[in-house]
Structure 1
């Protein structure tokens, strides 16, 4: 199943030509994925998070740019999990126009769960696995 989130592009996200700066695509994906997890009860603070898994680091990020985004406004970020292994998860994503007619970019992102004491890969908790279940599976 996929999740779709609306994300706002601001004027300061644009480059000198009025296009969304290439580095901002990763930020759009981050905002969408973070909003999903916040809705599930995840926070950056281990004392208030529903999950003990709060040290999640990006290991790899691949973006293919298809059609530039021009100007500020809203876009959609569609994402899902292709795989959730023992210590890492792979998100697939697409950045879409607000009307879903244009795929501006697509790619994947690998996150690794880290042990807070050692900063080494650690197994995901059963709670976060359960919360991630709706994201598992590529879009149709």
Structure 2
């Protein structure tokens, strides 16, 4: 039998994790170069404090429909094989992802096209 979860609204708001518990926005951005075909290039960020991950924005200076990216939090795959589009892309989570101080967030870019490019990403958080 399947598991059934229930939530309710208090004061017109959804409960955590569908409504964040931390109030202060924090965005961490990074940029790196990729050039080798077929090679997965990863970039890691270690959280300096407890936070809630709410989304990610990704862009490249050259787009190719063979390229894709993924995101891991403490080796747990959160986003897998997201193919690049011809415009910058944002992914906003329906539920916040708690991230503890010292956690590793890993952005992985697979440059299947082999075309050298710059990649930018912004991790979007809330914190106390």
TM-score by length of 2: 0.26
Higher strand proportion (structure 1 or 2): 2
Larger radius of gyration: 2
Identify the structure with bigger relative contact order (alpha carbons < 8 Å, sequence gap 6+): 2
Higher helix proportion (structure 1 or 2): 1
TM-score by length of 1: 0.25
